[in-house]
Amino acid sequence: MAMNPIRGGCLCGCVKFEVKPEFFAFKYCFCSRCRKRSGTVHAANLFTREENFRWIAGQDNVAQYTEPETGKIRNSFCGTCGSRLPRVTPRGAVIPAGSLDDDPGMQPQHCIYWDSRATWLPLPTDLPKLPEAAPAP
Ligand SMILES: [Zn+2]
Ligand SMILES: [Zn+2]
């Protein structure tokens, strides 16, 4: 059965993409590299084959950071608003789950690189939940 693509994009809306939700993995990554590029406690990445992915708007505005030593693409983001975007190579596509507009139809399976986690955890699941912003101090 062919799956309908789901959509995603950046905060300012200039970059849009679609992806067939045929994901083979969904991981929370706690490595130091993901902490730097996301600016937060962990990455939430979905993995799929390259042919399942397609840019539909703003591809010219997708900026990439390529690590000089390895030549590997280490970050992909909107050149205007800085939102994280998928990293797409012939080896596969890594989709930041937060960049999706639609439900990926899959739950995270693992926390990887747990031994590299930030010292300032706890996880959000362990903190009190407020419906909106916290009251001013
Ligand atoms: Zn943007
Ligand atoms: Zn990582």
Distance in Å, CA 117 to ligand 2 centroid: 10
DSSP 100: B
Using a CB cutoff of 5 Å, list residues around ligand 1, an ion. Answer: 10, 12, 14, 78, 80-81
Domains identified in the chain and CATH numbers? 6-118 (2.170.150.70)
Q: Indicate whether 2 pLDDT > 70.
A: no
The ligand minimizing its distance to the Cα of 33 is 2
Q: What is the mean pLDDT of the chain?
A: 94
Q: Where are the alpha helices (DSSP H) in the chain?
A: 32-38
Q: What mean pLDDT do residues 35-51 have? A: 96
Q: Indicate whether 1 pLDDT > 60.
A: no
Instruction: Write down the pLDDT at residue 122.
Output: 85
- C-alpha distances (whole Å) from 127 to each of 31, 98, 116, 124 are 21, 20, 21, 5
pLDDT tens sequence across 82-127: 999 999 999 999 999 999 999 999 999 999 999 999 999 888 888 8
Nearest to 103 by CA among 39, 26, 35, 37: 26
Instruction: Write down the pLDDT at residue 137.
Output: 83
